[in-house]
Chain A
Amino acid sequence: MNCTKCKTKAVIGLPRHNAAFCKVCFNGFVHDQVARAIKSEWMFGKEDRILVAVSGGKDSLALWDILLKLGYRADALYVNLGIGSYSEQSHAKVRKFAEAVAASHGATLHLHTVEQEAGAGIKELAQLIHRPTCSTCGTIKRYQFNRVAIEQNYDVMATGHNLDDEAARLLGNVLHWQEEYLDKQGPSLPASVAGFAKKVKPLYRLSERELAAYAVLNKIDYIVEECPMAKGSKMLQYKEVLNRLETESPGTKQTFYWGFLEKQSKKQPSATTMTEKDRAVLHPCTSCSQPTTAEICSYCKMMARAKTVVPR
């Protein structure tokens, strides 16, 4: 199989684009797709300060790498969840990338350790407060990423969600007719109220396989192991189904998600309307000041509960 552009030996075939690329042309393709996503969704400009949420996985490290190579001002935040050796390994991968690649671009890595603040790792914390681990993890990550973005004056926060993540989530929402979520599944969320950072997903045009290939080709050392907490998750099941469809019928995932975005853009309430809706129901948490619909936000409630049961 030869590269569609330069006719040298290809390293990856992309059936959904009816193309194959060598390493150099594939890197060009990946960078083009991200640049296109940033521009078409008005995500950020060259002068903006970006905070990338990194986990040690292929997507977030690839995102940090791509943004730095495209000349953006991108720092990163890693949240250490305290999941035994999995967290130790993922933290080591992030540190290695920060030192070997990001530092030469003048980028900084921020760190938050759950155990330091909560007194326990995520698994123990979830058990103590009787909530599912993934939901506890989600609350903590969302809160900490937003907190650091606001406190350190970043213009925008970027996550490594890819085409597979978005298509799987869309499938889940459609299967359960969760229309309230469908309205907000775009790749760019505005900073609707004071205390909320703008959030974007610059990888929504690239598949997981393409991002893994980008990491391998560019020698980005990422954690291949799956998070032990994610085993058997619904998201993984939806992805598996979509990948079987994609293999039989290339382009299924992008037609599904991009087609949805196109339809939404014609009827979707504008960013202004979304902002108005948020402003109508959100106010500062009485404990930490982050926006919430309740008196105290879910993160502060969780921490208060943890402090009553975790020995200090």
Chain B
Amino acid sequence: MQVQLSHPARTIEVKGPKKVKELLRELNLVVEAHLVIKGDDLVTEDEMLYEGDQIEIRPVISGGSPHFTSHISRLTSQE
């Protein structure tokens, strides 16, 4: 099956059949930080993937936006 990965964007070939959680483990990817999409559908970790399936493993983690921590620090600086 073809597996599309990000950061950096690349496609790899993986032998099926195997479950989503086995695929993630094989690629050393943490479940909590990824979504697995088969075709256009989101699939759970126990879903079986077969030869010929188009799979995308999408990372979900982002660096985040600036926080509005404190009214004092957010618009001022002592530089």
**A-side interface residues toward B, CB under 8 Å?**
1, 10-13, 20, 53, 55, 57-60, 134, 137-139, 141-143, 146, 159-161, 164-165, 168-169, 180-181, 184-185, 189, 192-193, 196, 199, 207-209, 211-213, 216-217, 224-227, 229-230, 233, 235-236, 239-240, 243-244, 246-247, 274, 277-278, 281-282, 285, 290-294, 297-299, 301
* B44→A161 contact, CB < 8 A: no
**Chain B: interface size category:** 35 or more
Q: Which residue in chain B gives the minimum CB-CB distance to A59?
A: B62
A185: which of B31, B37, B64, B69 is its contact (CB, 8 Å)? B69
- Give the top 9 A-B pairs by smallest Cβ distance, nearest first: A230-B63, A138-B66, A212-B60, A298-B77, A243-B32, A1-B44, A278-B71, A293-B76, A11-B42
| Residue B22, interface by CB 8 Å | no
- The distance in angstroms between the C-alpha atoms of A58 and B41, with both chains bound, is 17
In the complex, per-residue mask of B19-49: 1 if CB is within 8 Å of any chain A CB, else 0: 0000000000011111101000111111100
Some 29 contacts from A to B, beta carbons below 8 A apart, are: A11-B43, A12-B42, A20-B44, A134-B66, A142-B75, A160-B65, A161-B64, A169-B64, A185-B69, A189-B68, A209-B60, A212-B58, A224-B59, A226-B7, A227-B62, A230-B62, A233-B63, A239-B33, A240-B30, A243-B32, A244-B30, A244-B32, A247-B30, A291-B71, A292-B75, A293-B72, A293-B76, A294-B78, A298-B76
B35 → A minimal CB distance (Å) = 5
Q: Which residue in chain B gives the minimum CB-CB distance to A212?
A: B60
| Residue B12, interface by CB 8 Å | no
* A243→B62 contact, CB < 8 A: no
* B78→A161 contact, CB < 8 A: no
- The distance in angstroms between the C-alpha atoms of A240 and B64, with both chains bound, is 13
- The distance in angstroms between the C-alpha atoms of A297 and B62, with both chains bound, is 29
Interface SS of chain B: helix, strand, loop or mixed?
loop
- The distance in angstroms between the C-alpha atoms of A139 and B68, with both chains bound, is 10
A51 → B minimal CB distance (Å) = 13
* A13→B44 contact, CB < 8 A: yes
- The distance in angstroms between the C-alpha atoms of A243 and B59, with both chains bound, is 12
Q: Which residue in chain A gives the minimum CB-CB distance to B41?
A: A11
| Residue B10, interface by CB 8 Å | no
* A246→B78 contact, CB < 8 A: no
- The distance in angstroms between the C-alpha atoms of A232 and B61, with both chains bound, is 12
- The distance in angstroms between the C-alpha atoms of A281 and B34, with both chains bound, is 44
Q: Which residue in chain B gives the minimum CB-CB distance to A53?
A: B65
Contacts of B46 in A (CB 8 A): 1, 13
